[in-house]
């Protein structure tokens, strides 16, 4: 019961997500989208439901953040996908760029 309540709360936690330029092809060009979750893992899973394939561009088969990707919650670097996110936080998705 308690577990169910937590899931319910986390699903309602809306996270402002700023999308890296190379991933905006998934979000119809939008720089800012909403995702829901109490952790980065949940937020990325929610993003993948809305924008299929987007998560795999950032996270590999072993659940590791790909080496050309950096994730931040507000100004804190995300090292683990279980990094917690609170209401009002912003998740930044950053991708290495190659253009010069």
18, 19, 51 from 54: Cα distances, Å: 13, 10, 6
Is 84 a residue that touches other proteins (CB under 8 A)? Answer: no
* 9 vs 77 by CB, closer to other proteins: 77
Joined together, the tokens standing for residue 64 give 């590791």
Distance CA 25, CA 74 (A): 23
Query: With the C-alpha atoms ordered 5, 55, 23, 67, is the resulting torsion angle positive or negative?
Result: positive
- Minimum Å gap between C-beta 3 and other proteins is 21
Is 72 a residue that touches other proteins (CB under 8 A)? Answer: yes
Interface with other proteins: number of residues (CB under 8 A):
28
Sheet holding 90-95, edge to edge: 32-36, 14-18, 90-95, 69-73, 76-77
Chain residues 10-69 in contact with other proteins, contact rule CB under 8 A: 20-22, 24, 31, 52-53, 55-57, 59, 61, 63, 66-68
Applying CB under 8 A, the residues found at the interface with other proteins are: 20-22, 24, 31, 52-53, 55-57, 59, 61, 63, 66-68, 70, 72, 75, 77, 92, 94-100
């Amino acid at each position: 019961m308690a577990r169910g309540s937590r899931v319910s709360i986390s699903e309602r936690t809306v996270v402002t997500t700023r999308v890296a330029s190379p991933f905006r092809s998934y979000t119809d060009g939008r720089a800012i989208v909403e995702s829901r979750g109490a952790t980065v893992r949940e937020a990325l899973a929610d993003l993948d439901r809305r924008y299929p394939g987007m998560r795999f561009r950032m996270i590999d088969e072993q659940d590791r953040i790909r080496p050309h990707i950096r994730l931040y919650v507000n100004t804190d670097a995300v090292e683990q996908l279980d990094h917690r996110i609170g209401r009002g936080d912003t998740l930044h998705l950053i991708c290495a760029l190659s253009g010069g």
